[in-house]
Chain A
């Protein structure tokens, strides 16, 4: 007969404040199979654990039930106590009488005590029937994948590479760099964004351990921590990157124009283009959606021959390329190519997008002189559409009065309730940069309140006031369009308790940061969850800020929530360190609470195969008949197959039939 030890925790007053702990203990003592029942103020404390260890060493107990809080946080601690006492750590069961009892039934102490007894009886029923389980280990692939090549992804990749791990950096655009590459200067030091980012981009591009996979997206991920099999699709560039030198001759000659994403639509790029001047890798792509196939040069067709010269008639891009990297006669596959890679851990660093101004109807979104702050970055950047001259979009004239509008789409229940965290600071930055360069420009900034927590940040803000930048508290309510495409700002001065109206030449909206819609697909592929603000959810808001609920997958940068560059880089380095841990360990543990097929009972019906959400089951010949077999590295122990098997051939270790029936019996007694 089993000798179950039951240990009931007070959890300070968390449990004992509602539940009669002594009554539960006394009840447990009387249960079949129970050898001892004890209680303690904090079972997880050293003394509580010692109590369990001592009972094991004294031979009093050989199965353990702790009635306390949640196994999510505390199961590992008590399992450790079992091991230390000399028992197999899986001979342990937890009854959650806190989260699922005292906390939710605080109004009904008697009922809560009754429920605690039932939960304990059920745990004892199961514990008495537990069997020891054995842990297995598999080797890890010592390589990492970083998805997203913004400043977060670049730093994560560099850290991992420097630790000696082969790292793949997947970026959907032709070049790495992300939003930081689009910025003019950066707060609070005003150093030029490109000047500090470009060297790091180049380092990542040249590092022997980093393989850049740009213009690429992750299509499929299989496997588990330590051994992920990843399919990456490289989009078709229609340019042979092995030959392309990034000279840009093709772009110069290409006649087809389309809005330039890098300049946020403020200028045009060609169909054949290089992402931006400092691109890494600096390679051209032909954007087929906008390519006109000049001269009938459809991809994969032979060129016409000129009657005059007898030479083939080529498209301007082909003709222009001095490196012969563009050959439209070749059969380029429009779907691009798939590359399969194996990695041990994954860092997701796919960043954010800023909201489009079209959402904000009161802000005259159809007017050209209403722009987003990211457009403003391009407008004042030396590589931007005006070469860094402050000219407004409607007439290319220098604006004299500028208005900054905060919290556009942030802190707004119609859009996003969260604060985007960086806009107050980058607006102040833009205002300061403009005021420094053009002291005669009037600048009005409207904030609900200025949010500038961070090292040297508030000084940066008060400095802006000293420079003569006008800062008003109060949210702008709307814009009216005046003749000549000027805007009348309808604002309010909270301090003066009065409405404010004036004419402005250019209005900058600090539109909210949010996840791009493509993030949904990636989340499905990787099994990521979303938080309340619709960013990727970390494992724990305080203690697991870079981990996710999927082991082996980590988060860095703005895909986890809005943040500035210092925080992004810190998190990126943290995520890299966390992602390196399993790679350094060299092996990962396989949970023993997984399913197993008793091959001799299996009829080979195959019902379980398509049901498994993790594709862990396949039919393999056994004594010349097809039989189900479960890949222990893929199984997550969900139990779907166990429940579905008509021959009862599958057991889920740790949740075996007799154990579950004993629990049901106890709960319904």
Chain B
């Protein structure tokens, strides 16, 4: 492993950016590791989550991690938040970093499909389920945005006028 070169400008920049993306507690972390002891992501083999992600960010490794896939293994279960003794809310740091990755379009193609589904139908997960629904005695069309043009327009307006819209996904 190459040595980490500590650079105070890079560190400050990294902290500032992660905070702007929503990881406001990052400086409170004392690197105790309690979060990672209970994190299902870490357990499943996504090592750069909660404490290790924070460690790297605190050493100024911001742009270097852009291709890191661990962050996308986070379940947002917030078990880390529940056990953290310093009020860091590590899940918020993980999601803050994801937002940076997303702004660089560094996510998988399957994730692109969810965004397009959301834009098109208002549902990240959508399959035409008419027959299934009828089978169990429900109307073919669920009373959701999927069959409601006005609702779809509303959701599209919200997405168009957001940083997501600027990425050119839709």
Contact = CB atoms under 8 A, between A and B. Distances in A.
Interface of A: 362, 407, 411-414, 448, 473-478, 490-494, 497-501
Given A411-B85, A477-B33, A477-B34, 14 more contacts: A362-B82, A413-B86, A414-B87, A448-B30, A474-B32, A474-B33, A474-B34, A477-B37, A477-B79, A478-B38, A478-B83, A490-B38, A492-B34, A497-B47
Contact of B33 (A412, A413, A492): A492
A476 B37 contact: yes
A475 B90 CA distance: 15
A151 to B, nearest CB: 30
Given A413-B85, A413-B87, A492-B51, A478 B37 contact: yes
Contacts of A498: 42, 47
Contacts of B38: 362, 477-478, 490
B39 interface: yes
B152 interface: no
Nearest to A501: B43
B87 A490 contact: no
Nearest to A489: B37
Given A411-B30, A412-B85, A474 B37 contact: yes
A492 B79 CA distance: 14
Nearest to B40: A499
B53 to A, nearest CB: 11
A477 B35 contact: yes
Contacts of A407: 32, 85
Closest 9 CB pairs of A and B: A477-B37, A477-B38, A412-B85, A474-B33, A492-B37, A492-B33, A475-B32, A475-B34, A448-B32
Contacts of B43: 499, 501
Contacts of B79: 477
Interface string B46-90: 010001100000000000000000000000000100110111000
A478 B85 CA distance: 12
Nearest to B82: A362
B31 A476 contact: no
B36 A499 contact: yes
9 contacts: A407-B85, A411-B32, A474-B36, A475-B34, A475-B37, A477-B36, A477-B37, A477-B79, A492-B33
A479 to B, nearest CB: 10
Contacts of B83: 362, 477-478
Contact of A491 (B37, B52, B82, B85): B37
A491 B51 CA distance: 13
Contacts of B86: 412-413
A491 B37 CA distance: 5
Nearest to B48: A497
Contacts of A448: 30, 32-33
A407 B32 CA distance: 10
B52 A475 contact: no
A325 to B, nearest CB: 51
A425 B43 CA distance: 31
Contacts of B82: 362
Contacts of A414: 85, 87
Contacts of A478: 37-38, 83
A491 B31 CA distance: 13
Contacts of B36: 474, 477, 492, 499
Contacts of A491: 37
Contacts of A412: 85-86
Given A411-B85, A412-B85, A476 B42 contact: no
Contacts of B42: 492, 498-499
B89 to A, nearest CB: 12
Nearest to B32: A475
Nearest to B88: A413
A589 B100 CA distance: 69
A492 B31 CA distance: 11
Contacts of A473: 33
B85 A499 contact: no
B46 to A, nearest CB: 11
A413 B32 CA distance: 13
Contacts of A499: 36-37, 39, 42-43
B61 to A, nearest CB: 14
Contact of A494 (B31, B39, B85): B31
Contacts of A362: 38, 82-83
B30 A494 contact: no
Given A362-B82, A499-B39, A499-B43, A494 B33 contact: yes
B33 A475 contact: yes
B36 to A, nearest CB: 5
B139 to A, nearest CB: 44
A94 B39 CA distance: 60
A477 B39 CA distance: 9
A492 B83 CA distance: 13
A414 B83 CA distance: 10
Contacts of A492: 33-34, 36-37, 42, 51
A407 B47 CA distance: 24
Nearest to A500: B37
A477 B36 CA distance: 8
B83 to A, nearest CB: 5
